[in-house]
Amino acid sequence: MPRVQQICCIGAGYVGGPTCAVIALKCPHIRVTIVDLNQARIDAWNSPDFNLPIYEPGLEDVVRQARGRNLFFSTDVDKGIRDADLIFVSVNTPTKKSGVGAGFAADLNYVELATRRIAATATSSKIVVEKSTVPCRTAESMRTILDANSKPNARFDILSNPEFLAEGTAIDDLFAPDRVLIGSLQTQEGKEACAALSEVYQNWVPKERILTVGLWSSELSKLAANAMLAQRISSVNALSAICEATGANIAEVAHSIGQDSRIGPKFLRASVGFGGSCFQKDILNLVYLSESLNLKEVAEYWKQVVTMNEYQKRRFSKRVVDTLFNTITGKRIAVLGFAFKADTGDTRESAAITLIRDFQQERALVNIYDPQVESNQIWADLNEASPDVPLETIQRQVSVCSSALEACKNAEAVIIATEWAEFKTIDWQAVYAGMNKPAFVFDGRLLVDADKLRSIGFKVTVIGRGERL
């Protein structure tokens, strides 16, 4: 008989929702309940027309197949905990906003509250799996809390099982992961718990892709993977600045270096800067960890990845102002894309937010279009980015549009901030006809065919390309 029959996932967000929906799909013999305190989020997961709270290609299909069969969404956290043999903790771990380590350390309050809830509610033994990205040795704190508060006969084994999915390709990543990482204590009980979770994944993941390591290595591997991915982006972005200054072409440079099998071609696309809820947060977390361990040079090294990212965004918005004859005051700028990358509606740390804030400060008028992001989210993000400016003032300067064509009408410049495929195929001739002249395009994602746009009449500026207009 399989060791795990009921799974509870605490946290129905970008990770908990898709991850456990896929587990339910691939393991019809396991009952999976995803719980969250956020009623609106759970209602959306349960919505009759599958109007799910997050956009992810392929996700709706997975939920359609499994929901009501062996996949359930609920706000009854305690029942979810009580019924489960194995509990994923997949709550948010944002950067701390105040107190010790503010701006760097992870805020572990949500992890701690979820852990305390497990301790207070569980009446039988459980395997508790840390799915959230956490600093090294968090599992130890969880174990201390669980041991100190557990009921008789309830023992807890803690595993680390960080999630490596990328938003936008989450379902493909979950169906065929490069690897599944499980960290456990190297005790008999730890190894048995690890085997039980491995058995769940083996329903669809080849055994050789399931890596089992020590708890602390597992926790650190997640931070390290994100830090190294972000570092590649910052490295190529640093080179893009050299390209712009010298006339080299970053696409050609990236292609050339990517052919080296030691380097490889992925994650070498220059852009206006990385965003997303994880890269910056996890690097800052690594910086904080290094500083706490008195490893000053290590901390400085990783911090530079974030510094370069900020520089890249600033450099891009300055290039827009410089190119538009050193002023954008009163000029209409169309920003295409608000999500932090294509194929997601997630806007957390999106580069577009910083660019638009810069344009607002230059007193430009901004039109925004994104195919997936709701206007409420855009207002919330812009409000948070400029806390001293009343929302009504922002809304006088910024408009949210329902198509790219509408956003570009009467604009002086179009900024491509997100690499949505649909921006490649918009009717650029019509866009040009509706814009003020000279009409500028700034491609922050190496997305469009610059030569084609130039033949229409646009003045095109591409990240990492040094040609003069």
Q: Which residues bind ligand NAI (CB under 6 A)?
A: 10-16, 35-38, 41, 77, 90-93, 110, 113-114, 117, 132-133, 163, 165, 167, 277-278
State which H helix or E strand residue 442 sits in.
strand 440-443
**Is 348 known to sit in a ligand binding site?**
yes
174 vs 398 by CB, closer to ligand NAI: 174
Q: Minimum distance from CB of 437 to ligand NAI (Å)?
A: 41
Q: Minimum distance from CB of 111 to ligand NAI (Å)?
A: 8
Q: Which two tokens stand for residue 201?
A: 């994944």
Q: Minimum distance from CB of 79 to ligand NAI (Å)?
A: 13
Distance (Å, whole) CA 323 – CA 412: 11
**Is 13 known to sit in a ligand binding site?**
yes
**Is 466 known to sit in a ligand binding site?**
no
157 vs 163 by CB, closer to ligand NAI: 163
Distance (Å, whole) CA 238 – CA 242: 7
Distance (Å, whole) CA 196 – CA 216: 19
35 vs 416 by CB, closer to ligand NAI: 35
Distance (Å, whole) CA 443 – CA 459: 11
Active site residue 278: yes
**Is 12 known to sit in a ligand binding site?**
yes
Q: Which two tokens stand for residue 232?
A: 């590649």
Helix 215-246 vs helix 138-149: crossing angle, to nearest 10 = 150
**Is 402 known to sit in a ligand binding site?**
no
176 vs 242 by CB, closer to ligand NAI: 176
Is the backbone peptide bond immediately before 390 cis, with ω within 30 degrees of 0?
no
The values of phi and psi at residue 308, to 5°, are -65, -35
CB 290 within 8 A of CB 101: no
**Is 429 known to sit in a ligand binding site?**
no
Q: Minimum distance from CB of 425 to ligand NAI (Å)?
A: 27
CB 280 within 8 A of CB 304: no
CB 131 within 8 A of CB 163: yes
CB-CB neighbours of 112 under 10 Å: 15
Q: Minimum distance from CB of 90 to ligand NAI (Å)?
A: 5
CB 407 within 8 A of CB 368: yes
Distance (Å, whole) CA 228 – CA 286: 11
Q: Minimum distance from CB of 167 to ligand NAI (Å)?
A: 4
Shortest Cβ contact with ligand NAI: which residue? 13
353 vs 431 by CB, closer to ligand NAI: 353
**Is 279 known to sit in a ligand binding site?**
yes
Exactly one of 9, 136, 278, 408 is catalytic; name it: 278
Helices (H), 122-207: 138-149, 170-175, 188-201
163 vs 443 by CB, closer to ligand NAI: 163
Binding residues for NAD(+): 11-16, 36, 41, 91-95, 132-133, 167, 278-281, 348
Active site residues: 278
Binding residues: 11-16, 36, 41, 91-95, 132-133, 167, 278-281, 348
